[in-house]
């Protein structure tokens, strides 16, 4: 079983839609959680950190459920520019290394 698992998608949604991605992680001792965004042929960039209390940044909301070991990302009012791959990232392991999921592809169409 992979340490971090995501639905690869693709999610094809119209502009203005609300879309949600989930991610599960296997190591219950994991400390920190993030969502990264990766555009085609570009490097990953931090979208937002995920806190236990949940956090919101404009149209983006991240949630953490430690009991069920999953993380979610909600995107409201999708824009064409949101089209990208969203990577779930967990700080895990004895030396706290960053482990990435395979990513979920989002395609927003007019």
CB 92 within 8 A of CB 37: no
Binding positions for other proteins, 7-36, rule CB under 8 A = 8, 31-32, 34
Residue from 49, 55, 61, 69 touching other proteins (CB under 8 A): that is 49
Residue 102 has phi, psi (to 5 degrees) of: -75, -15
Residue from 1, 14, 28, 43 touching other proteins (CB under 8 A): that is 43
Min dist. Cβ of residue 77 to other proteins (A): 25
Distances (CA, A) of 96 to 7, 71, 90, 93: 24, 18, 9, 5
Nearer to other proteins, 76 or 93 (CB): 93
Cα 76 versus chain centre, distance = 14
User: What's the rounded Cα separation, in Å, for the pair 44 and 37?
Assistant: 6
Residue from 26, 70, 93, 107 touching other proteins (CB under 8 A): that is 93
Residues making contact with other proteins (CB under 8 A): 4, 6, 8, 31-32, 34, 42-46, 49, 87, 91, 93-103
């Amino acid at each position: 079983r992979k340490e971090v698992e995501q639905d690869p998608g693709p999610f094809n949604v119209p502009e203005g839609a609300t879309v949600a991605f989930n991610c599960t992680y296997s190591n219950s001792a994991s400390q920190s959680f993030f969502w990264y965004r990766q555009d085609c042929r570009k490097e990953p960039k931090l979208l937002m950190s995920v806190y236990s209390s949940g956090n919101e940044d404009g149209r983006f909301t991240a949630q953490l459920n430690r009991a069920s070991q999953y993380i979610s990302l909600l995107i409201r009012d999708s824009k064409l520019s949101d089209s990208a791959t969203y990577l779930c990232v967990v700080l895990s392991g004895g030396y706290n290394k960053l482990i990435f999921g395979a990513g979920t592809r989002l395609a927003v169409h007019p």
